[in-house]
Amino acid sequence: MRVLVQRCWGPWPVCGCPGGRPSPQWRALAGLGGSPGGEDGRGVRVREKPPWRVLFFGTDQFAREALRSLHAASGILNVHPSCLPRWRGPAPIIHTVLHGDTVTGVTIMQIKPKRFDVGPILKQETVPVPPKSTAKELEAVLSRLGANMLISVLKNLPESLSNGRQQPTEGVTYAPKISAGTRCIKWEEQTSEQIFRLYRAIGTIIPLQTLWMDNTVKLLDLVEVNSSVLTDPKLRGQPVTPGSVVYHKQSQILLVCCKDGWIGVRSVMLKKTLTATDFYNGYLHPCYQKDSQPQPRQCRFQTLRLPIKKKQGKKIVAMQQCIK
């Protein structure tokens, strides 16, 4: 959500007038026609004292002319869910979880022309990141904090603007949009902690993916593996490589080997949603029955390699893939 604030020293026609008509000033700004002294101005309530007009937009799909006019009047405020300059960009909450940050926060800032997330800071507060929280859960925490901070800034807006401070030049990090390849687990490269962070960051929104015998598999429910499971003699006696899949009957989970250990998977989606037991009965057990000594690339999860994508009328963009 972005907040556009326009200082208005003259009478202030307020939206919500009888009949639901927008004010003449807003109609002119939006290109709807009409004038303050014309017919459209009848029945409009006015505010005689300054101080500020605030407009809320839920998306960026509003007229560029309106944005330019409001910015020229007094500027734009942004509620950003991170402690700027850390995690500038469109996905700060996801990257906070993905990188295991223990502290985050919310920043109320002014937006500079043509560049977001670099303007003066009007207010900033920090909060601890709850252990093992997902991006969705953290978003709820920061939303409540951001709403309260925004109200505080708007109540004392002239003072807040005059006390704004420039962002530090040190500690700048970026939070780009998540690419399609991010969801692909790299079994040989990623540790169990990195995989669980990835799951908590995007797994509840975009299921993580892997390959099983050239078929894409979505991993729906990841769980940490209990230490007692790892001491099971049957598990310790098997030769494994990253991506190896073992079914643990007692806990009814799939154990998947990664760079430094194991993760647990309770359910997957292949052609349909399958429990770990279903996957074992339908795919894993028959694989080992067919070949008692399967090759390294068989009977295990492999890293999904995404194809090259092209943009219309542009050069081929960088390949978004997961390297084996």
Query: Residue 107's pLDDT is what?
Result: 97
Q: In the listed set 143, 163, 183, which residue is the last one of a domain according to the structure?
A: 163
DSSP string, 62-75: S-HHHHHHHHHHT-
Does the residue 178 lie in any domain?
A: no
Query: Residue 77's pLDDT is what?
Result: 87
Same domain as 199, residue 139: no
pLDDT tens, N- to C-terminus, the chain (324 residues): 444 444 333 333 333 344 444 444 434 333 333 434 443 444 445 445 444 454 545 445 555 665 666 566 556 889 999 999 999 999 999 999 999 999 999 999 998 777 778 999 999 999 999 999 999 999 999 999 999 999 999 898 889 989 999 999 999 999 999 998 999 999 999 999 999 999 999 998 899 999 998 899 999 999 999 888 888 776 766 678 899 999 999 999 999 999 999 999 999 999 899 999 999 999 888 776 655 555 545 678 998 887 766 554 443 333 333 333
Query: Residue 290's pLDDT is what?
Result: 58
Does the residue 98 lie in any domain?
A: yes
Does the residue 211 lie in any domain?
A: yes
176 to 60, 124, 173: CA distances (angstroms):
17, 21, 10
Same domain as 127, residue 222: no
Does the residue 246 lie in any domain?
A: yes
- Which amino acid, residue 91? A
Same domain as 69, residue 120: yes
Same domain as 129, residue 230: no
Residue 224, domain CATH: 3.10.25.10
Same domain as 150, residue 75: yes
Residue 132, domain CATH: 3.40.50.170
Query: Residue 240's pLDDT is what?
Result: 81
Does the residue 290 lie in any domain?
A: yes
* CB contact at 8 A, 277 and 266: no
Strand residue runs (E) in the chain: 2-7, 12-13, 46-47, 52-57, 76-80, 103-110, 121-128, 208-212, 215-223, 245-248, 253-257, 262-269, 273-275, 301-302
For residue 126, give its domain range.
Answer: 61-163
Q: In the listed set 108, 142, 163, which residue is the last one of a domain according to the structure?
A: 163
Same domain as 68, residue 145: yes
Same domain as 211, residue 152: no
Query: Residue 255's pLDDT is what?
Result: 94
- Tally of domains in the chain: 2
Same domain as 271, residue 215: yes
Query: Residue 214's pLDDT is what?
Result: 87
Same domain as 250, residue 158: no
Same domain as 226, residue 130: no
Query: Residue 80's pLDDT is what?
Result: 96
Same domain as 201, residue 100: no
Does the residue 295 lie in any domain?
A: yes
Same domain as 132, residue 202: no
Does the residue 12 lie in any domain?
A: no
* CB contact at 8 A, 209 and 219: yes
Does the residue 6 lie in any domain?
A: no
Query: Residue 292's pLDDT is what?
Result: 54
